[in-house]
Structure formats: structure tokens, C-alpha cells
Amino acid sequence: MERTAMKKNIKSISIVLCGQAGQGIQTVENILTKIMSSAGFNVFATKEYMSRVRGGMNSTQIRISQEPVNAFLERIDILVPLDKGAINHVGGRVSAETVIIGEKNVCGDEIQEGNRFYDIPFTEIATGLGNKVFSNTVAVGALASLLGVEKERVFKLIKKVFSGKPKEIIDKNIEAAEKGYQKAAELDVSFQIQAPKKAKQNNKHQIIVNGAQAVALGAIAGGCNFVSSYPMSPSTAVLVFLAQNGSDFGIIAEQAEDEIAAVNMAVGAWYAGARVMVTTSGGGFALMTEGISLAGMIESPLVVHLAQRPGPATGLPTRTEQADLELALYAGHGEFPRIIFAPGTLEEAFQLTCKAFELADKFQVPVFILTDQYFVDSYYNTNAFDVSSRKTKQYFIKTQKNYKRYELTENGISPRGIPNYGKGFVCVDSDEHDEQGHITEDLDLRIEMVDKRLKKLDLIKEEIMSPEIIGPKKYKNLIICWGSTRNIVCEAVDILHRKDTAVLHFAQVYPLHNSASEFIGRAKKTIAVESNATGQFTRLIKINTGIDIDKMILKYNGLSFAADELAEKLAGIL
């Protein structure tokens, strides 16, 4: 059938797949993003899912674009409901322009008047091939057809994805894709996306990774040789990646019996000379706070990746939020210095995780890397990370016989020794201690030791990152964000096409750079965007700069901001 409702000159498209956990939505996502990336397009994918292994209702968004794309949208151009309840699950995002490709006998009464619904019997086609599991590949073929991708490219990617399977399985998947392709070709709708200029070169030097992989790769580049953690969604992906690839990089991965054991293993391994990361989420981090205080007292380096999720308690364990900033900022009893990073891009996640090991080792302090479920589970194509200049510097010394682990120095940093490297005795203690590391209750010495530890903040402030201004240097309005909201906020501002509005993004949230006051002070109107209920970062800005932010846009329902949704909110304020 000739297509009569052709859409031409589309530069960007948003596809949403929705169905139950265990239906293979991620298989469709994986194959489709690879197909489009191989054709030179920019891709982005993220997901929201319920906290169950099977059942429930999950959805994945895939964006395909001529230009770089790296943020979530509410808009749906094509919806593929794979089970009953799927249309209702994302119903608030379905518009009159949304094309729905699904099975009529499955969607049934969910189809509303005015919906642009097209029936493709995925299950019937797959069952005819011998197994309904092929329905996902039928969907891949149908989508590729709607997007105008040549069949040969689809078949090539399917062969690659299923290369470890028997030939019969590969052939069946190719046949399933072809049947889906032909069925979609009979519909009176298609989406012809403009191919990017220089498509073949477009992704030549790029990689596709998610936030968890970017953090893990940064740890590898930072010289990590030991990771100790207890699995906890959404942080587990970092532990899994390092465990899977540890043998290639000399990394020992230890799944501890609980988070208390994990952090104490990490402190002990740093004491022995290892470079260690712990990866966890809010509830696990809460259990680690005594171990973090131990690191503060014995002046041990420590790197902790904290993937945030909604609390309190178990909260929404598979959703996203930025509500653990103050937990990281004030974790542990007593007073000791720390550094907190919150990357907003995959490149920042790689660079800052690598830097976390450097600064933890150099200043002998805990360094926290804050991400969240949205960030760790989202991926897009980005320039390959530069590792050419990466060199791991050794900060511990070879000790002499009269070595003092906590020698009082002018800058507060004592030379760090490790056991059996030199003639000195490396004594550390969780009680207050003297220069040798022995317990003391000398109250004057107590003051000297506290001041010594806190002096490090002065040195840390010399190396902290300035926040990034994105947009015009001369601005009237300033949108302030931190961590994972960066790309969403930037796209929202782009949607508004305002030349008087810039974005100020903080990838280091503690200590704050002195330039923060200057940047914020230039604006006539300031708006903070945060994924929490109380404006934790806005409060931190007030504490550190004395500046009140004019407005806050907060979201805390467990879902990330969407760029188009946020643009509407900003427009209402600006």
C-alpha cells in the first residue's frame, strides 16, 4: 500500500516502548539504538521501571536525532504498547500527534477516540515463527521500517546482537524483523528522519555508554584496583561493570555481606595502599556513615559513589531523586573535610570519578560522587573519553624509622605511609590520637588535631571546580542546576529561544567555588531546578553565599524532569 500520511524532514523523533518487566523491552531498545547509531544518528535512551522482576509496567524512551540529544522528553511521537495497560501507563504523554503501533486485541479498550492507532499483530507473527519471544524482533523490524532504515542494516545488526546464538535462532530473528518490516510498510504512516550531514563520520570517534558505565570507566582510569559494595539499586550497575571487567584491569570486586562491611573493607584497603571505591544508594550510604567518620578521623582516602533514589527508608527503590545531597554533606559524626561531585554529563562522570581518586589520595579525605537512577540508567553517544594523559600518581611515602602518621604540618596534610613500605610503624586509631597515632586525651592536642584536619579545606578550595555557564555571558535570567538535571535544563532553555537566559551548572557541589556568588549576583532573576522537595542545593547556596534564589522548580514524584515539561514551567516564571 502506498503511504499517504508521510511525515518528511523530521529532525528528531521520540519513541516510547511500554510493557511488563520481562517482556524484552530492553532488547528492542538495544537493537534499535545500535541500528540508528550505525546509520550516523545521535541516540538517547532512558527508562522508568517498577521495583519488581516481572510484571508491573515499565517504559523506555528512545530519542533519535540529527543533532546531539541527551535529555528526557514528555513528547511521544511513536508509542509501542507491548501489553495491556501500557497505553494508560503513559496516557498523560499521548497526544493527537502520537502514532501508536500495537496489537488491537491486546490494547482493546485502552484505545481512545482520536488516537492514531495502527494494528500490527506482533504476537501472532512471532507465534507463527515458532515462539512468541520473537515478537520483540517483529517490533524492531516495524520501527525500522517506519523510520525508513534499509532492511540490510537491520539484518546486519540482528546478526551481530545474536551472534552467540545458534544459526536457527539468528535466522528466525531475521525473519521476524522482515515480517515486522513488511507489515509496517503497508501502513499509511512513516517517519522519514533526515540523515545527519557526514553521517558516516558522525559517530566515528564516539561511544555509547550509560551513567553507570561512565562512573566505572572513570574509576578504572583513576587507578581503582578494589571495589567493595553490597548490591543496592540503582548503584549495582557500577559494581557489576567493574566485576565483569576487573580481570582486564587488575581490579578485585568484593560483594560484601552488608554496607557496613563494604565501607570498612574500603578503609582497610586504602590503609594497605589500594585505591578503592564503594558504590551504594541512600539506604546503604546511611549504614556507612560510621565508616565514613572513621575515614575522617584516621585521615584515610575514600571514594564513594552514591546513586540517589527516593527515600526515606526503601522509598521508591527504582525511581530517581536528588534528595541525598545533605546526607552526603553531613554524613558522619564530628567535623572533617570532604569533597562532593555531582556530574551532569557522561564525560563529567568519567572525568570527576577519575579526579575523585586523585583528590581523595592527595588530601586524605572522603570524596563522594552523587548520581541518581535517571543518570546511571540513561545513555547516549558521546565523544570517546580521553585517557591518553591519565597517570596514577602515588601519594603514599616510604616511611623512615621515626615516622609519624599524623605529623602536625603547616597545611594539615601529614605524609601518608602504608604498612611494610619502609621502616616506620604506621599506626592509625579511631580515637583522637597524637602524631604517632596513639590514643590521647590531651585536650590541647585535640584542638590541634581538629584544626589540622580542617586546614585541608583551604587547600581543597584551591583545586575546586568553578560552575559552568552555558549560554550567553551577558544574561538577565539565570537557571541554576546541579548534577543530572544539566542536560534537561539546557534543552529546556533551548526550547524557549531566549537570548537573555543562561544556565549555571554545578558539577562540584561542595566546597562551592568562590565564583558562584559572582555568577548568581549578575542575574536579575534566578531560578533553581532540583529533583527534591525542599531545595537542598538552593539552601546550600544560601549558606555559602548569603544569596537568596528568587524561585525554585522542584520535582519529587520519582520521575526525572522532562525538557519540554520544564520549558513550560520556566516560561511561566520568565
Q: What would the pLDDT profile of 228-238 be if each residue is shown by its tens digit?
A: 999 999 999 99
In SS3 terms, 75-123 reads as CCCEEEECCCCHHHHCHHHCCCCCEEEECHHHHHHHCCCCCEEEECCHH
Rounded Cα distance, 171 and 177, in Å: 10
List, for residues 484-505, the tens digit of each pLDDT value.
999 999 999 999 999 999 999 9
- At residue 142, the pLDDT reads 96
Same fold, 5-194 and 208-383: no
Q: Architecture of 468-573 per CATH?
A: 3-Layer(aba) Sandwich (3.40)
Mean pLDDT calculated for residue range 524-532? 98
Domain ranges of the chain: 5-194, 208-383, 397-461, 468-573
List, for residues 427-455, the tens digit of each pLDDT value.
999 999 999 999 999 999 999 999 999 99
- At residue 114, the pLDDT reads 87
Q: Which of 395, 349, 397 is nearest to 369 (CA)?
A: 349
- At residue 380, the pLDDT reads 97
Residue 6 in this model has a pLDDT that exceeds 70? no
Cis peptide before 511 (omega within 30 of 0): yes
pTM comes to 0.95
- At residue 199, the pLDDT reads 53
Element (H, E) at 199: helix 199-202
- At residue 22, the pLDDT reads 79
Inter-residue contact 452 to 336 (CB < 8 Å): no
Confidence of residue 8 (pLDDT cuts 50, 70, 90): very low
List, for residues 335-390, the tens digit of each pLDDT value.
999 999 999 999 999 999 999 999 999 999 999 999 999 999 999 999 999 887 77
Residue 46 in this model has a pLDDT that exceeds 90? yes
Cell numbers given for 71: 535529555
Residue with cell 591519565: 390
Mean pLDDT calculated for residue range 8-16? 80
Of 298 and 389, more confident? 298
Contacts of 390 (CB under 8 A, 6+ apart): 221, 354
In SS3 terms, 122-171 reads as HHHHHHHCCCHHHHHHHHHHHHHHHCCCCHHHHHHHHHHHCCCCCHHHHH
Residue 4 in this model has a pLDDT that exceeds 70? no
Q: Is 192 left (phi over 0), alpha (psi -120 to 50) or beta?
A: beta
Rounded Cα distance, 554 and 535, in Å: 7
Alpha-carbon Rg for the chain, nearest whole angstrom, is 26
**Mean pLDDT for the chain overall:** 94
Cα distances from 373 to residues 210, 265, 456, 557, in angstroms, run 11, 25, 32, 13
Residue 58 in this model has a pLDDT that exceeds 70? yes
Superfamily (CATH) of domain 5-194: Pyruvate-ferredoxin oxidoreductase, PFOR, domain III (3.40.920.10)
Class of domain 208-383: alpha beta
List, for residues 400-421, the tens digit of each pLDDT value.
999 999 999 999 999 999 999 9
What percent of the chain has pLDDT above 90?
Answer: 88
Residue 244 in this model has a pLDDT that exceeds 50? yes
Residue 468 in this model has a pLDDT that exceeds 90? yes
- At residue 113, the pLDDT reads 87
List, for residues 177-207, the tens digit of each pLDDT value.
999 999 999 999 888 787 776 655 556 689 9
Cis peptide before 196 (omega within 30 of 0): no
List, for residues 308-347, the tens digit of each pLDDT value.
999 999 999 999 999 999 999 999 999 999 999 999 999 9
- At residue 21, the pLDDT reads 83
- At residue 400, the pLDDT reads 97
List, for residues 74-87, the tens digit of each pLDDT value.
999 999 999 999 99
Residue 10 in this model has a pLDDT that exceeds 90? no
